[in-house]
Amino acid sequence: MVVPLIIAGVLAAAFLALWVTTQQKLGGVRDELTGAETQLSAAKSEVASMNDELDSTKDDVKNLQAKTDGLENELTGTNARLDDANDTLRKRTELADAQALQIDALSGERDDLREEIREAEEKIASMAARPGVVVGDMTGATAISGGQAESQFETEFDTLWNLELARTERLWRNSVAIDPTSDHSPLDDADNALRQAIEIEAAALREDVGALIEVDWQAEPVQSSARRLVVLRLAQEMLASASRAPGATRFVISNVVSDSDTDVDTDTADTDTADTDTDNDADAVDSISEIRLEFISVEPDGETINLIPPAVTGPAFEGVLDIRQDGSSAVVLTAADTVG
């Protein structure tokens, strides 16, 4: 009996020791499990924090992507505007080059015209200094026949008149025209080139020196190139004299009938309202009428303005020009048949 009891006691002690050891190990495992769970919780917290940071990073990436897209769009627009600006600059450069070429061409033409005008003025002065020779040549006093001389001098006066118109057009482009390289010249389609040329001279003085001068044309159209040339040169001299006069003035060009020395009725003389046949009556008007050039104030009293007369006196002008001292400084060009 004792032996079984001893064996049972030994077994019980062994089981007790085993149970104690097992409980100790189980406690350690439980502690490790608790530590692992704590670490797991910490790891989950870290994962959650990292997920939040990841979401924030993703949001930042999206914002950066949006900004990048916006910058790319802005860059695209800037490049497009830059291309447009380059294209505009290229076109303006081409236009500037073309205008520079036109200006160079006009400058060359201007220099040529200046030389031609200088030669023409010398020729005019030479003709004016020897009116008898000129008239004699035109009436057949030279070896050239009368018809040939008349044709030759008409051609020469036509040339001089065209040169003077070229000078007037240059003056218009330099002083009056808004765009001298492309504006259409008013002389090209003018019905009365002489009247238009005088109006250009007055307009140039208004632009250059501020002269308040307006042209009042009351005369019939002048048909002879020589007579047109003389009238225009007289007008240029008188306009130059009046350009410094104070106040506004009216430059009146009218016809004076030689026989009665009275003004032609302006209602019939004004080229804007004349109903007569110019082709049939032009020669008669040129042959019987004088042309009077004078300045009148535009004030209500319409007083005639006294000016220093142009230097057109002397033997070369006798029988051709008359400076009337009738309370004014009017210049009268005598009837056409006395000047050829």
Consecutive 10-residue runs of the chain (340 residues): their mean pLDDT?
80 86 85 88 90 90 91 92 92 89 83 80 63 47 49 74 90 86 82 92 89 89 87 87 78 72 41 42 50 76 59 62 61 58
Q: Which residues pair with 321 in a beta bridge?
A: 333
Helix, strand, coil % over all residues of the chain, rounded to 5: 65, 10, 25
3 state SS of 312: coil
**H/E run at residue 267:** helix 266-269
Same domain, 198 and 334: yes
Q: Would you say residue 329 lies in a domain?
A: yes
Q: Would you say residue 199 lies in a domain?
A: yes
Q: Specify the CATH number for the domain of residue 331.
A: 3.30.565
Q: Would you say residue 274 lies in a domain?
A: yes
Q: 7: which residues sit within 8 A by CB, 6+ positions away?
A: none
Looking at residue 11, its pLDDT comes to 84
Contact 304, 296 (CB under 8 A): yes
Looking at residue 301, its pLDDT comes to 60
Looking at residue 316, its pLDDT comes to 57
d(CA 221, CA 276): 11
Same domain, 205 and 316: yes
Tokens for 66? 């949006």
The total of other beta-carbon atoms located within 10 Å of residue 186's CB is 18
**Number of structural domains in the chain:** 2
Same domain, 199 and 302: yes
- Domain end residue (candidates: 116, 141, 169): 116
Same domain, 234 and 101: no
Task: Look up residue 338 and give its DSSP letter.
Answer: G
Q: Would you say residue 142 lies in a domain?
A: no
Q: Would you say residue 126 lies in a domain?
A: no
State the residue range of the domain holding 87.
1-116
What is the per-residue burial (b if ≥16 Cβ within 10 Å, else e) of 314-327? eeebeeebbeeeee
Q: Would you say residue 2 lies in a domain?
A: yes
Q: Would you say residue 130 lies in a domain?
A: no
Q: Would you say residue 247 lies in a domain?
A: yes
Phi, psi of 281, rounded to the nearest 5 degrees: -100, -10
Same domain, 95 and 197: no
